Amino acid sequence: MSISKVSVIGLGYIGLPTAAVFASRKIEVIGIDVNQHCVDTINRGQIHIVEPDLDMVVHAAVTEGYLRASIVPEPADAFLIAVPTPFKEGFKPDLSYIQSASEKIAPVLKSGDLVILESTSPVGATEQMAVWLAEARPDLSFPQQAGEASDIRIAHCPERVLPGHVLRELVQNDRVIGGMTEKCSLAARALYKTFVEGECVLTSARTAEMCKLTENSFRDVNIAFANELSIICDKLGVNVWELIQLANRHPRVNILQPGPGVGGHCIAVDPWFIVDSAPEEARLIRTARVVNDSKPEYVIDQVVKAAASLKEPVIACFGLAFKANIDDLRESPSVEIVKRLADRGIGRVVAVEPHIQELPAKLAGVELIGLEDALQNADIIVLLVDHEAFRNAVGRQRAETVVIDTRGFFQNK
Ligand code: SAJ
């Protein structure tokens, strides 16, 4: 199967880097998005998201004519769907973006095309996508109808890149390729091999779906273990950071780090897809979510207690991003903590976040200040994100400043 044109549907944090990497291999790429502003930005050779080096790769791809964006789908040889899969009421997966992407590309599909679902999805979503495509195109055959003889090949190939390292991980990570049939898997592998240096391992679509959910749930459960330990250790008067460091000297123990909660768009969402599919069975996975989601309130309680004995304290919150050394504030437990602290009215809440120029609208009433200002004036420092930029702040706070360190940053680690 020869692929000379690839269409990427959804030009967000995964779709745009993927489109740009294909284009950098001199494959013609048409990126499709519903957002006109994003389409226009990309067509100017610029980007609308933050990811190191992505601006250069997109600029080169657009200038050299390999990458174009549009809101109107057009024929291609392979279609990669990288749209959001959030959850709705009751933590139920919302597949509406996949459905509308399927409906969009269906009219331009032709025999021999490959459709790949990259979005993190509950088990069965790829088969569901194939049903939507088949309903829209009764003139074409799909794997669920014709098996290996189908006109259209379908696979699930979940992305597993780490924000902040997307371009490197896209190329270097191993890739799980779950075709609805073996021919589907082989076609998808041939496509990814144009840029993936890691191994492309073949499996079924359902296993590939579960694999991605498993990876993020594994991490969530392990972070929940660390978060629960931190609360137990507070109660028992044990330094959790020292404890973890010591326990991790055991050759088969590797505990992750406690924090103020789990943020981002994946780890706090994906485990719910497993819980939704197997609500009775997924007891540990559900509990991990509950433990991690309760951590912000625990941190707030700590601050409220510390503030109780102070008059109008200046509460300086260090870090707003959802993790270290990035500027992404979306789904960040730190933003939530700062907002809820400000709403409580227990003092003057200020934020230090060297990676941004202005605060998001939901933090109206909070002031963004510099690190030195915070060190001089804070009565309480709440370390929420372990940004490298805070490294030289350690030990420079005033002697009387109370430090609530959710990441073990101010400790002797
Ligand atoms: N966190 C802790 N303690 C830790 C590690 C992380 O509290 O020891 C917190 C972080 O501060 C952050 C959250 O967890 O709030 C998630 O951060 P992360 O670095 O664990 O993961 P993400 O969300 O940036 O990316 C994850 C990755 N998945 C895994 O590592 C299994 C990435 O490979 C996936 O591609 C990505 O989810 C995704 O898109 O699914």
What DSSP string describes 200-213?
EEEEEHHHHHHHHH
Residues of the chain under the 70 pLDDT cut: 1, 412-413
Q: Which domains, ranges and CATH numbers included, belong to the chain?
A: 5-198 (3.40.50.720), 256-412 (3.40.50.720)
Q: Give the CA distances from residue 123 to residues 76, 205, 220, in Å, rounded to whole numbers and listed in that order.
A: 27, 8, 19
Is 176 near ligand 1, meaning CB less than 6 Å away? no
- What's the pLDDT score for residue 412? 54
CB of residue 162 inside a 6 A radius of ligand 1:
yes
Is 215's C-beta closer than 6 angstroms to any atom of ligand 1? yes
**Residue 340 pLDDT:** 97
Q: Ligand 1 center to residue 267 CA distance, Å?
A: 6
- Ligand 1 geometric centre to CA of 262 (Å): 8
Q: What are φ and ψ of residue 154, in 5° steps? A: -135, 135
Residue with CA closest to ligand 1 atom 35: 160
**C-alpha 217 to ligand 1 mean position (Å):** 10
For residue 230, the number of C-alpha atoms closer than 13 Å in the C-beta half-sphere is 27
CA of 212 to the centre of ligand 1 (A): 13
Our answer on whether the CB atom of 264 is closer than 6 Å to any ligand 1 atom is yes
Nearest atom in ligand 1 to 270's CA: 40
Residue 37 CB neighbour total at 10 angstroms: 9
Question: What's the pLDDT score for residue 1?
Answer: 63
> What one-character DSSP code corresponds to residue 392?
G
Running DSSP on this structure, what letter comes out for residue 161? P
Ligand 1 in reach of 219 Cβ (< 6 A): yes
Q: Would you state the pLDDT for residue 411?
A: 74
Distance CA 383, CA 61 (A): 40
Query: Which pTM value belongs to this model?
Result: 0.94
How far apart are alpha carbons 219 and 196 in whole angstroms? 24
The DSSP element (H or E) to which 32 belongs, if any, is strand 28-32
pLDDT given at position 413: 43
Structure tokens at 212: 């991605």
- What's the distance, Cα to Cα, between the start and end of the chain in Å? 54
Distance 316 CA to ligand 1 centre (A): 25
Instruction: Give the Cα separation of 212 and 120 in Å (integer).
Output: 7
For strand 114-117 and strand 153-156, is the pairing parallel, antiparallel, or unpaired? Answer: parallel
The catalytic residue positions are 212, 266
CB distance 292 to ligand 1 below 6 Å: no
Helix, strand, or coil (residue 294) = helix
Tell me, what's the pLDDT at 50? 80
| Beta carbons of 61 and 29 less than 8 angstroms apart | yes
CA distance 169 to 155: 21
The Cα 366–Cα 44 span in angstroms is: 35
